[in-house]
Amino acid sequence: MGFTVTPSEIRDVVLIEHDVFPDDRGFMYELFRDDAMREALKIDAPFVQDNCSRSRRNVLRGLHYQIRQPQGKLVHVLSGRIFDVVVDLRRSSATFGRWAGRHMSAEPRQSLWVPAGFAHGFLALEDDTTIIYKVTDYWAPQFERAILWNDPELGIDWPAVAPIVSERDSAGARFRDAELFD
């Protein structure tokens, strides 16, 4: 198949470990294959957009989601390292309100599947950290929302003392006041 899928501690979020084929010239791996990913992740939605983000060390982006046109995200680190965080915003879920964090880097070659209904964010742990992520719906700024990255109710244990955060992310809603999913 080209990869192995491992469930995470949060329902429906999975880690994908890509099979890497090295030789004396370098390596090759299949980052995305539509039919295999759909089957393994049990998703019907198409991937419609690819996004790329580069950050310097200590930049924190998130926690983002779209309340309408929600996006599933397939996150992959191309260079550097991140601490990746998801928060379950689905009221009907057994893991509602829980967060999970995972250190990810360019090696080993891994991706993280974050279904629609989650807030997502990450902290760059190195300069020139680049991530790409495929999404299942288009960016719709009118529906974009942010939950405060350091909301004490969530208690996310970010591995940074004073991260670099945008104005928008600093003004995110508290979890208790956020628009959520059923």
1 pLDDT exceeds 60?
Answer: no
Name which of 35-39, 135-139, 141-145 the model is least confident about: 35-39
Average pLDDT over residues 64-75: 97
What are phi and psi for residue 147, nearest 5 degrees? -100, 140
* Residue positions annotated with a catalytic role: 64, 133
Query: Is the link from the previous residue into 108 a cis peptide, with omega within 30 of 0?
Result: yes
Full-model pTM: 0.93
Where exactly are the structural domains of the chain? 45-105+114-177
- Nearest Cα to 49, choosing from 136, 161, 160? 136
Which of 123 and 17 is assigned the larger pLDDT? 123
* Fold for the domain defined by 45-105+114-177: Jelly Rolls (2.60.120)
Exposure string of 151-182, with b = 16+ CB inside 10 Å and e = fewer, is beebebeeeeeebebeeebeebeebeebebbe
Which pLDDT value is given to residue 36?
Answer: 86
